[in-house]
Structure formats: C-alpha cells, structure tokens
Structure 1
C-alpha cells in the first residue's frame, strides 16, 4: 500500500499534468475506470504503472480481472495518495501512467485510409478530445495534429476522449503542407471545414463525400489561416437554419466526419 502523498513516486505521477514532464518522460496520466479500462483492453503494452484505492477496485472489480489477464500489476494507494496524483478535483479512485504512442504521418497515409481528421491549431483540450472521440465513433482511420494544436496527452484531452485515444491512430507535430501532400499521395481529397466554403448539402447530393477524405479543421476562434485554407482541395460549410451565430468546433467536426461516414457506407 502506497501511503505517503509526498513520496517521490507520487510526485512523479502528479507532474504529468505538466507538458514538460510528459515530454521528458514520453508518458502521460490516465484517470478513471473508463480510460484505464480501455487502455487495459486495447493497449496494455503502454501501461507503466496502475494505481487504485481498495474501494475503487471493490466497485470496479473488472479492472482487477483485466489487469491480471494482461499482466499489469496494481499498486494499492490511499485516498490521499490518489488525490495527490490526480489532475481532477474529484478523482474516481483509479490512476495510471502510460507511454505515449504516436503514429507517424507516413504510416497514417501509407495504409490506404478512407477517412482522416486533420486538426490545425486546435487549442481547446475539450474540443480536441471530442474530435478524437467522434473520429473513433465514425470509424475514421486516424487523427493528425498539425501546427500548434494542443498536446493530445494533456489530461483534459485524455479525459474528453473517454478512452477513444486508445482506438484511433494519432499523429502529431507534422507540418500542414507536408501532411496534405501525403494525404493526396495516399488518394484522399482534402476538404476544409470553413464558413467560406460551399454548401455541404450540395456536395452530399453530388456524391463528393463518398470519396476518401481528409477533413481539415482549424482554430476555434480564427478558423483556418488563408495559407492553410489555400492548401485544401476544397471547402465546405455546414448550413445553419436557426439563429445561432456559429457551431462549436467539435460539434461541426463531428457532423462533417459523420457525413463522410454515411456516404462511405451508403
């Protein structure tokens, strides 16, 4: 039982809430039974340490079983230790440290993908996490992060994915122009989601969304720069029928990804 909240081991885990520590160790923090359960089920090889309070494992006994099945040892901790490790105000009794597992841009576009999300300077952790979750839900082949997009292993991004982080290949740090060149070389059209674009419904009717597609999503406040916009093969906008000024980025991205998924499966 780990009991000292000030021990070096506990402090090392807590530091993973900071980007510098994540970069130095190439690891990140997982919190809660949902995220930890998905890691155990899909990427147990990435788990470095798994910590839990006895009461949490009484409530989520399946975690103990799954951890034993994949050979991951659980370290029991007190509530005070768990709180010291966690990034959330009210942790759920389970925390893990996992290795980061990015995929190269070459591998993403070299595997004949049909649907990819490219995020250029998406800065809000909740938005990025939701886009990754939506990409997982629609069966997208990958999410590619370019520009100054927020760190996908930020605790808030990880929580917002609710485990989808372990289902979808993730590439990060690429130059947008290079990523788009690789997308085209892989047979995908690149469509910018932008208010300056053409009507999405017309593109749907013309069958344009049935082609392999990489959707390009920009910054929440500014959208895509003129340079980024010009790199795309085309641009589409979502119609707004009510009085809303605009849509939240993650909501718009989810609709665009689902439109492609519907077209691919029709």
Structure 2
C-alpha cells in the first residue's frame, strides 16, 4: 500500500487522530496514540505494530523507521506522510517527534495475567498522575516485574502523557485494571503460593523495616494515591507492611518513587 499524503488540517484523519488525545474518544475507538521512533520500535519488538503510522515529510532516514514502516505494511496498516505542523496538531506538542502511531488497546483484565511469570508485580491504587503511572511502568521494566495492576480510579495508562512517560514500558509490561473488590479475591485464589501472591505496602501500621522484611514471590507491591495514600482497610488486607526511614523533614516519598525503592529491595531479596 503506498504512503498517503495529508496536507490539510481539516482532513478527517487528522481530526480522528487528534481526538485520540481525549479519553472518551480513546475508549470509544479502543485506540491510543504513541510517538517517537524509539517508543514505536520497542512496541514492534514486543509484537505490537501500529495500525496507522504517521511520519513527518522532512524526517531523517533511519533503518529502524524503515523496519517499522515495513512491519506496518506487512500487517495491512496505513502509512501517512504529513507536515511537522500537522503532526504537532495531532500530538499536541509544539516540537513533536517525527513519527507517531495509532495502536489498538489490548486486554487489561486480570485473567490475562500469569502471576507466576515474574517474582515482582507493581500495583497502584487511585494513582492520578500520568507521569507517576508512566514512571511505575518504567520501574517495572527495570526490575523485571511482570507488569502493573491499576486499582480503582487511576489515570488512563493509554493517555498520551502516560505512554510518553513510560518510555516504551507500556509495551514491555503487562497491564491490568480492576476494582479492589475484584483484585483481592483474584490475588487470594490464585496458584503459586499459599495466598496466590504476597501483598506488600509501605505503611506505618504494624510495619517492619523494609530492608529486613520477609518478602516472598510472587510479590505484589502496592502503592496508594499521591495525596491520600492507601485506605486503611486496603493496608490491613496486606500480608506485609513495611516502613522506609525518612531522615529529613519530608514525611513521605512520591508514590512512584516509593514503589521503585521497594521494588529494588524485593529484587535484591528474591534474587
């Protein structure tokens, strides 16, 4: 299929692509936007190829871009060329990357997860900042976690901001979304350990020091909302509560940072 040229801002395809920056349109279409050659290459290497590939006309040649275009065409996708100005309109950035792609969302139910595929899993409850969400995905990738489970009302992991902040980890990590009342029975009923998985949270309630805590895999590291933390009953449902020392005046860490600190400690403990 030949590349399609788009030269007008009022083109219906441009309007459609722009609409994917809004959650209601993403959910209606079941599609989301991602931008940048490195990020789209990570997606391709993980077996996810964009349905639509949009490239700037004045882009520099690159073998990875050639490979990406070939993969899109092989899957029957569409390749579009357009100006930098129109690409900026699509992505909402004044200095956009020279390539963007449209991907179909995938199954984010708990049943799609294999908890025994990794020793570490990250779990976020009511996480509202897409930057924090993306950071947790990157952390999961860095420590070899199985993925990220989003509990209750979290930021949209398929938003442009969260995908960008994940630096490609949205494609390398498994992703699931569920309500707490669904997640907890799933965790407790699964195979792999006495309770299906150890649920661990940073807390001050009957907590033990995080450096000497008895972690067991698969370990599910739970962090709460940025401003309110975890609800009390969520903390009490955890198998293990740990505390991290705060040596200065701050009384807590950023949610994503706390998750990263715990994840590396669990990694060191479980080997």
Tell me if both proteins adopt one fold, taking TM over 0.5 as the criterion.
yes
Q: 1:246 aligns with which of 248, 252, 258?
A: 252
CA contact (8 A) 1:114 1:188 kept: no
Q: Work out the CA distance in 1 between the residues paired with 2:186 and 2:218.
A: 13
CA contact (8 A) 1:194 1:223 kept: no
The correspondence of residues 102-121 of structure 1 with structure 2, limited to 5 A, is 102-109=107-114, 111=116, 113-121=118-126
2:151 corresponding residue in structure 1: 146
CA offsets 1:156-212 (integer angstroms, 9 cap, x no match): 10000000111111011x121321222233321111123443321231xxxx12432
The correspondence of residues 187-266 of structure 1 with structure 2, limited to 5 A, is 187-196=196-205, 197-203=207-213, 208-265=214-271
Are 2:176 and 1:166 equivalent residues in the alignment? no
Greater Cα offset, 125-134 or 208-217: 208-217
Q: Work out the CA distance in 2 between the residues paired with 1:79 and 1:88.
A: 10
Q: Work out the CA distance in 2 between the residues paired with 1:163 and 1:225.
A: 31
How far residue 60 of structure 1 moved from its aligned partner, in angstroms, is: 3.8
Greater Cα offset, 73-82 or 214-223: 73-82
Give ranges in structure 2 of 5+ residues lacking alignment: 191-195
How far residue 67 of structure 1 moved from its aligned partner, in angstroms, is: 2.7
Q: RMSD between aligned alpha carbons?
A: 1.9
Relative to total residues, which structure has the larger helix share, 1 or 2? Answer: 1
> Helix, strand or coil for the counterpart of 1:236?
strand
CA offsets 1:81-112 (integer angstroms, 9 cap, x no match): 11111132321121111101133212325545
CA offsets 1:43-63 (integer angstroms, 9 cap, x no match): 334x1100011322x154421
1:42 corresponding residue in structure 2: 46
2:193 corresponding residue in structure 1: none
Q: Work out the CA distance in 2 between the residues paired with 1:109 and 1:228.
A: 23
CA offsets 1:119-166 (integer angstroms, 9 cap, x no match): 110001100100011001111112111111111001110000000111
